[in-house]
Structures are given as C-alpha cells and as structure tokens.
Structure 1
Amino acid sequence: MKLRIISSALLMIAIVGAGCVSNKKFAQLQTTYNDLLNQNRALDSKYQIAQRDLSGATARVQSLEEQIASQRTGLAALQAALDKCLNSTSQGNTNISKLVDEINASNRYIQHLVNTKNKSDSLNMVLTNNLTRSLSREELRDVDVQVLKGVVYISLSDNMLYKSGSYEISPAAGETLGKIAKIIMDYKDYDVLIEGNTDNVPISQKNIRNNWDLSALRASSVVQALQNNYGVDPKRLTAGGRGEYNPIASNDSDAGKMKNRRTQIIITPKLDQFMELIEKAPEPTEGAAAADSTSGS
C-alpha cells in the first residue's frame, strides 16, 4: 500500500512538473513525497526488527522440539523394554513396575518441556515489550532488545552512540542511554557486560592502535556514562571489546558493516540467580534406579 502511495506521489510530481506548476505547489508535492518516503523507511525498519525477533523465537522453538523428540525416543525404548519383560521370566516381571515408573517419569518430563517452552516464549515476549515500550520509533531503529533464557541483550548502533571513528559518546545519545540505564536499574541484582564491536575497516586515529582498542574504548565510554551520569553501581559493570571478530553480518557491504558496528549491553543473572532460572528435569524414582541396577547385573 505504502509503495503504491509513493508511486502515485512520484507520478503526480512528474505530471505537475511537466505542467510547469508554481514553486510553492512543487515544494508541497516534494514535502508529501519526503513524508511518504520516511514512512516507507520506518515500515522497513519495523519489518527488520520483526524478522530478528522471529529468528530468535524459531531457534528457541527448535531447541525445545529437539529435547522433546529425544525424550520421546527414550520413551519408545523404555516401552519396548517393557514389552520384552512381559514375555520374559518371573525375574523380568519383577521389574515391570520399575519400568513403568521410568515411563511415567519420562512422560512427566515431556509435558514439563512443553509447558516450559510455552511459558518461556510468553515470558520473553512480555519482557521484551515491557523493556521497549519507553523507546520511541526512531530509537527502535538504533536499539534492539531481546530476552533469551532470562538474559537481556540490548544492542546499540554506533551511529547513534558515537561519531565515526570516535569513542566519545555523542550528546544526542544521552536520552536513549538514560532509558537503557532505567532498564539496568530495574535488573538491580544482575551483572552487566558492555561489549564493543566494530567492522573490519582498520582504524587510523592517534593513540588508537587498532579495532581492538576502539571497541574496548567504546565499551568503556558507555560504562563510565552509566556510572557517572545515571548512577549505575560500577561493581555491576564490565567493559570489554571484541574488535571486528564477532560480526553478525557480512562486511562486504556498507549495510553489513553498519550492523557490525555496535555496542551490546548484556544483563546477566549471577550464578545462583541463573541456576534458579534453569528448570531441572524430574529426579528418577528409587524404583527406576533399582531397575537400572538390576538390568545392568
């Protein structure tokens, strides 16, 4: 629909231009064209964000489906062993109840994985929406927020944060960083890693030896801004640089290089908190353990 509107606007401009309209009329048509072009770019940006969200969700679904398939394979093997025991000696019959316990435990774990998948997808979507609702549409073009297994990933484009080839934070980035700081403060018990990334174009600045230096300096600038300007506890913060060696796109195009030039803020639970996020499999019953011992003797 947007493309048809833009095409119509272009046709109108061409027709009016051919008719030698006044400068005022032409300027109005030019403004209309620019507005439509900006709307098209905004829709394209939202499409790219939706594609990244879809890719992350697909990966999570695939991982859980693989676990479910593995458990179902194990269940089939246990069922086959049970069928064999039904036709065996009295010693085999003694282990039937123990094998049934294992089958029941496996069934419970399969249901547990299904429930965890549904709960995880819903929770991650709610958290992502809550974290991004304070960001404007313009900010969302330069800020990508994702939640995966309880870890918050916030990726900031270098175009928004810094001037080209510099590690000094631009004044225009202050408002967005303030909103990011609010997210970090909401996760007050979690550690925060600030990770700088560059493209593969060599840096040529005084006192900056290479892209390793540039990425680390950029991460350090963000850490110090969060500490000095927004009151984030420095004990929670870690600054690190990965240079050009952690790309998310090809450096063969300008668009790919722009994606690779980013600073990522990773809000991670501490070890004890992370363990609480992990849903453990049900422990085997005593009967199942005895069945393993008997079958191995």
Structure 2
Amino acid sequence: MKKVILMLSLAAFTLTSCGAKKKIAELEAKNKEIQDQLNSTTVKLNSCLSDKETLASQIDFLKKNNSDLINNMGNLTTLSSKGAENLEKSLESLKEKDLKITRLQDALTRKDSVTLALVTSIKRAVGVNDPDIEVTVEKGVVYISIADKLLFKSGSYQVNDRAKEILGKVAAILKDKPNFECMVEGHTDNVPIKNPVLEDNWDLSVKRATSIVRILQNDYSVDPARLVAAGRSEYVPLEANTTAEGRARNRRTRILVLPKIDQFYDMIEKEMKNQTK
C-alpha cells in the first residue's frame, strides 16, 4: 500500500512540474512574439517619420512654386490650379501619415503608462528603501526581486511571517490589476543541497516558488489562473558564486507582474491594422 501511495505522489509531482514548464514555455513564446511585433512597429514608425519629413519638404517646394507663379502673373489673388491641387494632395497625405504615427505612438504610450503606474504603486506598497527588495522594469515586465533571507530560512521552502507581510502587499496590487498575470521564480546559489525532502537546487527553487504561489492564492485570494510557479535553480545568477556576498545576491525570489499577453498583443495588432486603412 505504501508503495502505491509513493508512486501516485511521484506521478502527481511529475504532472505538476510538466504543467508549470509548459505554461512557462507558452509565456516565453508569447513574450517573444510581442517583442517581434514591437520591433516591427518601431521600424514602421521610423519609416512614417521619415515620410513625414519628405512630405514637409515637398510642401515647401510647392509653396515656393505657387509663390513664383503669383509673382510672375502679377496677380496676388490668382493661384495656379495645378499647384493648388498638388498642395492639397500633399497636405492630405501628410495628414494621413500623422494619424498613423499618432495611433502607433498612442499604443506604445498606453503600454508604457500602465507599466510606469504599476512600478510606482509597487514601490510605494513594498517600500523602495529596503535594500533587499528591488523593483525594476525589463522589456515591459515589472520584476519584484526579494532576497532569500526575507522569505525563507537556509535550505527551507517554508515562508516566514515577514515574507507574508510583503506578499500581502503584492497580492493587494495584483487584485487591483485584474488584467495582469504573476509569475513567481525561485533562484538559488550553486551550493548543492540534498536531503530526504529536497533532491537538489532545482527542487528547492520550485518548492519555494510554489510555496509563495500558494500563499497568494490561499491567504490573499489571488485568482490561481493568473499565477505561475517556476524554478530557475542556480542557472540565472546575478553575480559569481565565488563569494558569500555573491551567493547571497543569487538566492532570491523574483515576482514577475506583466499584462496578460493576449490582451496586449491584440492591442498592438489592432493598431497595426489601422495603419493599412
């Protein structure tokens, strides 16, 4: 009977790990897709700005031609119909280019504004003066990095009371932003660990991430559909593991707060389609 229970437990753990890895892979693929769309949008925006400058030069040239026609004819009230027609077409083309540029800039500005507002609220909530808590933005994603010593005892994945206070503040922000998802990443140093509960640093990093996700869900009622638990083990260090200080920096938990990727992708795609109209 004990063997059956053990086998079922191992199977459940394997399925859970596979599900988390699949979710991570999907999020990373979608994030790359968005980055490609943003790069394409930036290229088109630069092209539009270049076209705008060219059209402005054309308008100046047409205005000069019209002025010359007026002077040559000696009639300040008469404008060459051909020159006027060309000028009108150029102005209309410039207006269309300006509208497309404005649409693209608005899409990017809205995204940047949402990110900035989120960073400000997180820093105000968790306290920016704590050197063990860092709030940064990388490629439109907000990262909350919390030092290991604020969350867990050495070699443990049991969350302490001080950490629950911090997580409560993060949960309040998440609940106030229903259009955002949250990924929790566990990171370790390279010191090997093995005991009856933990197989290695992979195991420790995943269990720490899962412990935090459970608290966000069970203690603070964050929708579990918005949560992802991920372990990165020792393989994404901030510093070399050759000193005690470096190892301490590498032992951390990162909480990624990001817009729901599908919604942001739809917004960019809509603006891209508006360009062709």
Q: Structure 1 length normalisation: TM-score?
A: 0.56
> Which is worse superposed, 246-255 or 166-175?
246-255
- The change in CA–CA distance for 1:124 and 1:137 in structure 2 (over 3 A counts) is closer
- 1:283 maps to which residue? 274
- The change in CA–CA distance for 1:71 and 1:237 in structure 2 (over 3 A counts) is same
Is the Cα–Cα contact under 8 Å of residues 101 and 285 in structure 1 kept in the other structure? no
SS in 2 for 1:281: helix
1:60-83 Cα offsets, whole Å, 9 max, x none, are: xxx79776444434667889999x
Is the Cα–Cα contact under 8 Å of residues 127 and 147 in structure 1 kept in the other structure? no
Structure 1 stretches of at least 4 aligned residues deviating more than 6 Å after TM superposition: 63-67, 76-82, 96-102
% identity of equivalent residues = 36
Matched, 1:155 2:132: no
Give 5+ residue unaligned stretches, structure 2. 1-38, 60-86
Amino acid at match of 2:210: S
Find the aligned partners of 2:158 and 2:259 in 1 and give their Cα distance: 29
Find the aligned partners of 1:270 and 1:284 in 2 and give their Cα distance: 24
Find the aligned partners of 1:196 and 1:102 in 2 and give their Cα distance: 53
Matched, 1:257 2:247: yes
By how many angstroms is 1:219 displaced? 0.3
Is the Cα–Cα contact under 8 Å of residues 248 and 260 in structure 1 kept in the other structure? yes
Amino acid at match of 2:157: Y
Find the aligned partners of 1:277 and 1:285 in 2 and give their Cα distance: 15
Within a 5 Å distance, the mapping from 1:20-31 to structure 2 comes to none
SS in 1 for 2:233: coil
- The change in CA–CA distance for 1:243 and 1:169 in structure 2 (over 3 A counts) is same
Give 5+ residue unaligned stretches, structure 1. 1-62, 83-95, 287-297
Find the aligned partners of 1:70 and 1:250 in 2 and give their Cα distance: 43
SS in 1 for 2:184: strand
Q: Structure 2 length normalisation: TM-score?
A: 0.59
Find the aligned partners of 1:254 and 1:208 in 2 and give their Cα distance: 22
Matched, 1:135 2:112: no
Find the aligned partners of 1:284 and 1:223 in 2 and give their Cα distance: 41
- The change in CA–CA distance for 1:67 and 1:263 in structure 2 (over 3 A counts) is farther
Find the aligned partners of 2:250 and 2:160 in 1 and give their Cα distance: 19
- 1:202 maps to which residue? 191
Amino acid at match of 1:196: G
Find the aligned partners of 1:259 and 1:104 in 2 and give their Cα distance: 53
Amino acid at match of 1:204: I
Find the aligned partners of 1:282 and 1:143 in 2 and give their Cα distance: 41
SS in 1 for 2:225: helix
- 1:180 maps to which residue? 170
Is the Cα–Cα contact under 8 Å of residues 150 and 277 in structure 1 kept in the other structure? no
Is the Cα–Cα contact under 8 Å of residues 239 and 247 in structure 2 kept in the other structure? yes
Corresponding pairs, count: 217
- 1:222 maps to which residue? 212
By how many angstroms is 1:146 displaced? 4.1
By how many angstroms is 1:117 displaced? 5.4
- 1:190 maps to which residue? 180
By how many angstroms is 1:218 displaced? 0.8
Find the aligned partners of 1:162 and 1:71 in 2 and give their Cα distance: 52
Amino acid at match of 1:176: I
Matched, 1:72 2:62: no
Find the aligned partners of 1:272 and 1:137 in 2 and give their Cα distance: 31
